[in-house]
Amino acid sequence: MTRDLPLTERDHPDSQQLDSLSPLAIVRLMNRQDRLVVDAVERVADAIAESISIVTERLRCSGRLIYCGAGTSGRLGVLDASECPPTFSSPPEMVVGVIAGGRSALTRAIEGAEDDAEAAIADLQSLGLTARDVVVGIATSGSTPYVVSAIQYANSFGAATIGIACTEGAMLEQHARCMICPLVGPEILSGSTRLKAGTATKMILNMISTGAMVGLGKTYGNRMVDLKPSNAKLKRRSIRLVSDIAGVDTETATTLLEECGGEVKTAIVMHAASCSPENARETLAASDGQLRRALNTCSSGLPPDRS
């Protein structure tokens, strides 16, 4: 019976005639179902917040955030990891995405990859896993052998472990020290967890990585002050940030950024403290990278914070 199946594998009663629906009816059905995802994620807010605290602590102690998954889950982990360096200027090795089957699995299915428990161990060994790291196992079914094996191996190293699944009573719950289970219900296309389960997973990963980076001082208010100005758009944004936060004109902001190699936080502290780039970096380091805290140590006045 369908009730004996994991929640992610069950038939959805509202989509049993899916192949007979018009395009508009499919869109409306999917849209109704997608609204359920937000509520499902809200119900696990405490577990997500706990995960953010764990990840922030590990990153602050030079650990890494390592996502492990297979198929869609693995791709979502790799995606979130790849977006951290351009958004937060984090080193590429700080947040790492590991997918069963390796890089080729990003664009095509690798037969048997999700069932290869030994490969998970080998993949983590190749990263030089340490007790400072945190491993997030992503498996919507909660039972993917590759992911369960990765979490077990991480536990043996003393690394922190977090599990993400979209069903209850999953094997992953027996091993992950912090578990996040947004119950989004069956998919309208039975077993296609790239739908609601994938959306919930993406939301949760967004929250974990963003929350951790905020905790590390990568933001000032709601602004990305640790961005890497690697293209014209980001260079313009850097100038706007310095101009807005420091209260200077565009020309002055541009000069400040040129003097410190494009480092937004350094440029702002340079202006606030009327100091050199080196002294500004020291001030930031003493403030754990938190721009707000660094500015509180500066004697020169800034315009009221509008964040």
Rounded CA gap, 9 and 31, in Å? 20
Is 184:59 a contact under the CB 8 Å cutoff? no
Strand order from edge to edge, sheet including 134-138: 95-99, 65-69, 134-138, 160-164, 178-180
> 93-130: buried (b, 16+ CB within 10 Å) or exposed (e) per residue?
ebbbbbbbbeeebeeeebeebbebbebbbebbeeeebe
Query: 118, 128, 32, 120: which is closest to 73 by C-alpha?
Result: 120
Whether 83 is catalytic is yes
Q: List the catalytic residue out of 83, 173, 259, 282.
A: 83
Q: Is 173 a catalytic residue?
A: no
Query: How many Å apart are CA 164 and CA 149, to the nearest integer?
Result: 14
Alpha-carbon torsion, ordered 247, 251, 256, 262, to 10 deg: 110
Write out the two tokens for 94. 């700080």
Positions annotated as catalytic residues are 83, 114
